[in-house]
Amino acid sequence: MLRIGIIGKTNTGKTTFFNAVTMLNAEISNYPFTTKTPNIGVGYVKTPCVCRELGVKDNPKNSACINGWRFIPVEIVDLPGLIKGAWAGAGLGNQFLSVAAQSDVLLHVVDASGSINAKGEICEPGMGSPLADYYDIEEELIRWYMKNLIDNAEQVRRLMQGRGLELSKALTEVLAGIKVKEWHVKEALNRAKLTGIPFEDWDDEDFKAFATEIRYISKPTLIVANKMDLPVAEKNFLGLQETFGERFVVPCSADVELMLRRAEKAGAISYVPGEEGFKVKDESKLTPKQKWAINYVQSRVFDKWLRTGVDQALAIAVFKLLMMNVVYPVEDAKRYSDKRGNVLPDAFMLPRAPHRLTLPGRYTQSWLKGSSTP
């Protein structure tokens, strides 16, 4: 199963996003550092199901089909907020970074409303900076990759000398546990201008450049601009899109998605995750507080952003950044069924074009300046 890791500063809404996607009940609060250890659950990525195109009624086994949409399971990992020095172990940071690095793709959640300060405490919306928060976390991640490389340099040398491996193969072997493939290594060496430079001649700048490249190439990342229901968020969201490119930033309101999914589960509304609206089942049964909430969700999210963005974030991460295709294996090609007659029983995701890169526009800032940029 594909693994999607959720990273970001404390209080940005990572666990809210996780709960919305998995419908679990991990603790959420407006105090910094609520999540102490990673939460792991299963969520679903939504894609148009081929049942409509083929004109058949399906009986999914490994996934679900609702209103012509196929929901395919993915593993979701919600990580504790990272602090400065996490890469070197502060606040168990290196353990959490290691879990993040074992994901196939990352969602980097930022508070687009700017309502957390530099320490992650709740403040007046607009006072915090999602861009600065993003770079703080990225710095931890890249430093962790760099430390990991330097700590394993001896092993790389041993693999090259002892087994006669070429550098790209030795690096791939050492980094395989964090889902680094050989083509990632070759591309990173190339972009960091290190192809042909003997490994023993690498200096700190070279390690930094390679770490930066390998982080972005092997771990595609979508920025989730969360708390879009709050004021000021739009301005920050547009700024993030301008900096990183439109396709790498998705507007989101995890809290609203969580509320809608819970209301749907309780039978109060009809709502298919990711759809551009919802329906109240019986308006006469709503309390004044529920009426206010419905009005808030409609005016602050659906009227402005069309959807909550939670499902869209998963779909973009899987289909645009990881470039997955959905395949429906069947045994009976006429009936589109398995041996037992289940029509379109399974949907699996397979990478479409592993050698094409989708990297954000500009990812170097502060100490990262000086390393190579795309």
Ligand X SMILES: Nc1nc2c(ncn2[C@@H]2O[C@H](COP(=O)(O)OP(=O)(O)OP(=O)(O)O)[C@@H](O)[C@H]2O)c(=O)[nH]1
Nearer to ligand X, 35 or 241 (CB): 35
35 belongs to the binding site for Mg ion (CB under 5 A): yes
Q: Which stretch binds ligand X (CB under 6 A): 151-159, 174-182, 192-200, 250-258?
A: 250-258
Min CB(220)–Mg ion separation in Å:
22
Min CB(145)–ligand X separation in Å:
21
Helix (H/G/I), strand (E/B), else coil: 291: helix
Q: Is 126 left (phi over 0), alpha (psi -120 to 50) or beta?
A: left
Min CB(14)–Mg ion separation in Å:
5
13 belongs to the binding site for ligand X (CB under 6 A): yes
Q: Which residue from 312, 6, 313, 310 is spatially nearest to 15, judged by alpha carbons?
A: 6
Interface residue with ligand X among 80, 220, 251, 345 (CB under 6 A) is 80
254 belongs to the binding site for ligand X (CB under 6 A): yes
Rg (CA), the chain: 22
Interface residue with ligand X among 5, 81, 128, 273 (CB under 6 A) is 81
Tokens for 202, please give them: 């690498």
Nearer to Mg ion, 98 or 366 (CB): 98
Q: Are strands 39-48 and 105-111 parallel, antiparallel or unpaired?
A: unpaired
Helix (H/G/I), strand (E/B), else coil: 326: strand
| Binding partner of 29, given ligand X, Mg ion, none, CB within 5-8 angstroms per partner class | ligand X
Site for ligand X in 223-242 (CB under 6 A): 226-227, 229-230
Identify residue 200 by its one-letter amino acid code.
E
Query: What element of type H or E holds 217?
Result: helix 204-218
Nearer to ligand X, 192 or 259 (CB): 259
For residue 122, the cross-strand partners are 116
| Binding partner of 146, given Mg ion, ligand X, none, CB within 5-8 angstroms per partner class | none
Tokens for 157, please give them: 């040398």
Number of residues counted as binding ligand X (CB under 6 A): 25
- Helices (DSSP H) in the chain: which residue ranges? 14-22, 50-54, 93-101, 130-151, 153-162, 167-175, 182-191, 204-218, 233-244, 254-265, 288-297, 303-305, 310-315
Site for Mg ion in 5-34 (CB under 5 A): 14-15, 34
Interface residue with ligand X among 1, 25, 30, 48 (CB under 6 A) is 30
Q: Which stretch binds ligand X (CB under 6 A): 27-35, 126-134, 270-278, 329-337?
A: 27-35
Query: What element of type H or E holds 100?
Result: helix 93-101
Q: Which residue from 109, 107, 123 is spatially nearest to 227, judged by alpha carbons?
A: 109
Nearer to ligand X, 133 or 173 (CB): 133
Q: Which stretch binds ligand X (CB under 6 A): 3-11, 56-64, 131-139, 319-327?
A: 3-11
Interface residue with ligand X among 63, 253, 312, 342 (CB under 6 A) is 253
Q: How far is CA 175 from its chain centroid? A: 20
Give the contacts of 23 (CB within 8 A, at least 6 positions apart): 261, 265
28 belongs to the binding site for ligand X (CB under 6 A): yes
Identify residue 356 by its one-letter amino acid code.
R
273 belongs to the binding site for ligand X (CB under 6 A): no
The residue count for the chain: 374
Min CB(94)–Mg ion separation in Å:
18
The beta strands (E) that lie in the chain are given as: 3-8, 39-48, 64-66, 69-78, 105-111, 221-226, 249-251, 269-270, 279-280, 324-327, 348-351
Using CA of residue 241, residue 97, residue 37, residue 104, what is the dihedral sign?
positive
Nearer to ligand X, 86 or 185 (CB): 86
Min CB(139)–ligand X separation in Å:
17
117 belongs to the binding site for ligand X (CB under 6 A): no
Nearer to ligand X, 99 or 344 (CB): 99
**Contact footprint for Mg ion (CB under 5 A):** 14-15, 34-35
**Contact footprint for ligand X (CB under 6 A):** 8, 10-16, 28-30, 32-35, 80-81, 226-227, 229-230, 253-256
